[in-house]
Structure 1
Amino acid sequence: MSEPTSSHPRRTGVITARKSSHYLAAAVGISLLLSGCAGAADADRTNIDSSLRGYLDLLEDNPQPAPDDVLAWVSNEDGGKDKARSWLTRHPGAQANVERYIVSDPYESDSNEPEAHLSVQGQACPEPGRCRPYPTDAGTINLKREGGQYLLDEDTALKFFGYEK
């Protein structure tokens, strides 16, 4: 992999939540992390694109994003939102249990367009009681720039909920 051509230093926004029945406590802890109270582990979000900042805000508030929340990230290219919505309708109990998110700074890029990456750790549950860890080899998700926002394709977004091709 080549070195970034940008003069901006690498920055990531990191959010961590421990598994617990009290997600409110996790949200408070995450809030402290993001507000800079966690020392070296805090997320420097000053240079992060506003659409990525929106992801961080959503993930900060809820480590189990609802299908509608994830659908908001899906690109509508080639009917992506409709395809994702259709799969989620057929899997009404699907759930994402995310323990950790890392969103990279979009300024680190070799291309003309800024790139961003989302790394996820946790479990996908396509059905209640049938959960499996997110695969480590598929942990980094490329976010596409479309209409001034970073978006996911429908297959990638549905992986949060256990979709497999």
Structure 2
Amino acid sequence: MFMRLPPVVLLIGLTACASSGASSHEDAPVVACQVPVASSPQTWRQITAEGFTFCVPSTWRQSGANTFRGEGGWIRWGVGQYRPTAIATTTVNVPAGQLPLSAGRQNRFSESIGGSIAELWDNELEGTLYTGAQWTRPSVYLLGQSTSQAVRLQQLQVYRTVRFTMK
């Protein structure tokens, strides 16, 4: 029995060392958000991306190279023009003489964020909420998906914390 204990301990030690060597925003020291976040009782932390920074609630966790997840949703970011990879379509059978019910809502608007104009969207389709922000100069985007109005509002707050480090 004692002969098996050292290999198990060694395996646990090697697994811990291998997982701690991965590079991520989680490994970086937590930097408090330098941008005021309206009506948020929780603390936010600053994330540094390629050419810009933004803030997320401190409870959100990194999930991949350019994605953060919070309870009930996620955001992703990138450099360049956002290009949707899929287009959702809905087929609705409407009896003759009746108007179709709306399958969702779409809202697009512009705001000055981080010293540049951003095109924001806040859409809903079949109970899923989609948000996003696109800047053309510099060309950066953030987008998100959630199932709750509270997370949707948090995502829009995240987009409003973007600050550019280069122009």
Give the TM-score of the pair, scaled to structure 2. 0.29
Task: Name the one with the larger helix percent.
Answer: 1
Task: Name the one with the larger strand percent.
Answer: 2
Q: Which has the higher contact order (CA 8 A, sep 6+)?
A: 1
Give the TM-score of the pair, scaled to structure 1. 0.29
- Which structure is larger by alpha-carbon Rg, 1 or 2? 2
